[in-house]
Amino acid sequence: MSTPTLPDGLVIVVKHECETCRLVVPVISQLKAGTVPVTVYTQDDPSFPADVSAIHDADLAVSWHNDIETVPTVIKVEHGREVARTFGWVRDEWHALTGRSDLGFDLPAFRPGCGSLSVDPDLVDALRARFGGSVLSARRVETAAAEDEFEAMFDRGWTDGLPVVPPTEERVLRMLTGTTRAPSDVVAVVPPDLVDVTVEKIAINAVMAGCKPEYLPWVIAGVEAVCNDTFNIHGVLATTMPVGPVIVCNGPGTRAIGMNSGMNVFGQGNRANLTIGRAVQLIIRNVGGGRPGEVDRATHGNPGKISFCFAEDELGSPWTSLAESRGVAPGRNAITVFPGEGPRCVVDQQARDPESLCNTFAACLRTLHNPKLVLAFDAIIVMGPEHSRVFAEAGWNREKVLDEIHARLQLPGSELIRGANGIAEGVPAHLKDATLPKFRPGGLLLVHAGGGAGLFSAIIGGWANGDVGSQPVTREVTT
């Protein structure tokens, strides 16, 4: 739909419902009687203003295309182009814009305007679809009148096993208001089919996942973070191991969008946590073509492959954030993606001193995947507040905590070689005299999250690490 051209002279947009618009009717009449052409558009009542002939902006096209946010708005037009505008009733501004200094002296000097119908929350989505829908290039799929659209989306294979929100033009355009990026921008190449994914396709899948527009930048950053050779989402998807992308969110934006970093942090009940991770996984499925039983060959998988996304509790943490420890400037929004299995609990309710608590973490971490396998897998420690307090009271910083845990995980090869302790799995026999660390340098990530009560923490085990597998990736989140 082309943008309507405004007539030269003065253009005034009003609605009857607005008290300020009714207040300025005598001024509009004065202007109409002058030499400059005046065109009045009325948004609601075609007979308003009563004494002035007005054009009914019934479909709000004029208001929409001219970004009218407040009524009354006065626009000065020369040769078809806007050269000035004012809104509400500000006498001095009306005088300056119209070149008339005799207007409205019997009115107060200032009255604020009212919201334009074209930005009415009840109407704006439909208007955006009507006038802005052409920016969307995705194929339109029509469901039959008698067809249940939720069932139709299951039938088409678009869901992760749970119902999804129907991605209508209105919803997708509203989702796109969450980013400044153009719908046609290519964000990444998505494995396994290696397909370009645009901001528009991400927005469609974000709608389906149940995201709000303000989550969209986090979803875009998530897609960027996993779709590269470093994170290797192809391998994370295809592996028989039970891993998926775990998304750890940092920065003030996590609080602005209401993410959970506290009680039940990995659990149900928080829309942002659950839908951001879900959107990323839906994009791998729908755009990348990565589906269970096809390229996804997981032996067991894990429930987090639907969504595993949470925020770090930065305000309650005694330490710098995960993102800062990975090079992001303080106060910036960022995500870190990690190829992780489901979380397991670390219980130590007797912990009062940091050495003892480190012994517990080391003993639990040693069992990761197999107590006799070393160096091949990374892990995230998600430290609960009652555990972190023990370290904080002893004055241990993030590096000290990790160094002490690493120091306790230097393991004798004789315990790790194949066959030792009656277990066939293990490292090759020639390593029997070596001392081997459970984790490679940097292979332990530390995040602070969880509820305030409970001397518990969590471990999220990783997948084949390094260049042969996947590396954690941290990305700033930008709008």
Partner 1 sequence: MTTLLDPTNERRVQTMERVGRPESLNGLVVGLLDISKPRGDVFLDRLEQRLSEMGADVRRFKKPTFTKPAPVDLRHEIATQCQVVIEALAD
Interacting residue ranges for partner 1, rule: CB under 8 A? 136, 138-145, 149, 152-153, 158, 166-169, 172, 190, 192-193, 195, 197, 200-201, 204-205, 208, 229, 232, 234-235, 238-240, 282, 286-289, 297, 464, 467-470
Q: 257: which 2 tokens?
A: 């969008």
Cα separation, 161 vs 436, whole angstroms: 42
Closest CB to partner 1 among 175 and 328?
A: 175
User: In the complex, what is the shortest distance from the CB of residue 464 to partner 1, in angstroms, rounded to a whole number?
Assistant: 6
Closest CB to partner 1 among 205 and 474?
A: 205
User: In the complex, what is the shortest distance from the CB of residue 472 to partner 1, in angstroms, rounded to a whole number?
Assistant: 15
Q: 86: which 2 tokens?
A: 């004012």
- DSSP reduced 3-state for 367: coil
What are the φ/ψ torsions at residue 79 (nearest 5 degrees)?
50, 45
| CA atoms 16, 17, 19, 21: torsion sign | negative
Closest CB to partner 1 among 388 and 470?
A: 470
User: In the complex, what is the shortest distance from the CB of residue 203 to partner 1, in angstroms, rounded to a whole number?
Assistant: 9
User: In the complex, what is the shortest distance from the CB of residue 339 to partner 1, in angstroms, rounded to a whole number?
Assistant: 10
Closest CB to partner 1 among 166 and 252?
A: 166
Integer CA distances (angstroms), 368 to 80, 342, 344, in order: 70, 12, 10
Q: 387: which 2 tokens?
A: 């555990």
Q: 126: which 2 tokens?
A: 């439909």
Q: How many residues does the chain have?
A: 479
Report which residue type is found at 73: T
User: In the complex, what is the shortest distance from the CB of residue 234 to partner 1, in angstroms, rounded to a whole number?
Assistant: 6
Instruction: List, in order, residues 6 or more apart from 437 with CB less than 8 Å away.
Output: 374, 375, 406, 409, 410, 411
Cα separation, 68 vs 177, whole angstroms: 17
Instruction: Note whether 218 and 187 are within 8 A (CB).
Output: no
Q: 34: which 2 tokens?
A: 């002058």
Q: 137: which 2 tokens?
A: 């290039």
| CA atoms 137, 138, 142, 147: torsion sign | negative
Kindly calculate the radius of gyration of the chain based on its CA atoms and give it in whole angstroms: 30
Cα separation, 74 vs 84, whole angstroms: 8
User: In the complex, what is the shortest distance from the CB of residue 195 to partner 1, in angstroms, rounded to a whole number?
Assistant: 4
Cα separation, 115 vs 14, whole angstroms: 10
User: In the complex, what is the shortest distance from the CB of residue 170 to partner 1, in angstroms, rounded to a whole number?
Assistant: 10
Closest CB to partner 1 among 103 and 209?
A: 209
Closest CB to partner 1 among 104 and 288?
A: 288
Closest CB to partner 1 among 67 and 148?
A: 148
User: In the complex, what is the shortest distance from the CB of residue 64 to partner 1, in angstroms, rounded to a whole number?
Assistant: 20
Closest CB to partner 1 among 24 and 199?
A: 199
User: In the complex, what is the shortest distance from the CB of residue 196 to partner 1, in angstroms, rounded to a whole number?
Assistant: 8
Angle, alpha carbons 292-296-298 (nearest 5°): 90
User: In the complex, what is the shortest distance from the CB of residue 206 to partner 1, in angstroms, rounded to a whole number?
Assistant: 10
Closest CB to partner 1 among 154 and 454?
A: 154
What are the φ/ψ torsions at residue 442 (nearest 5 degrees)?
80, 0
Report which residue type is found at 444: L
Integer CA distances (angstroms), 66 to 12, 43, 57, 120, 242, in order: 12, 13, 12, 15, 53
Closest CB to partner 1 among 26 and 133?
A: 133
Cα separation, 98 vs 9, whole angstroms: 9
Closest CB to partner 1 among 104 and 167?
A: 167
User: In the complex, what is the shortest distance from the CB of residue 142 to partner 1, in angstroms, rounded to a whole number?
Assistant: 5
Paired sense of beta strands 410-412 and 309-311, if any: unpaired
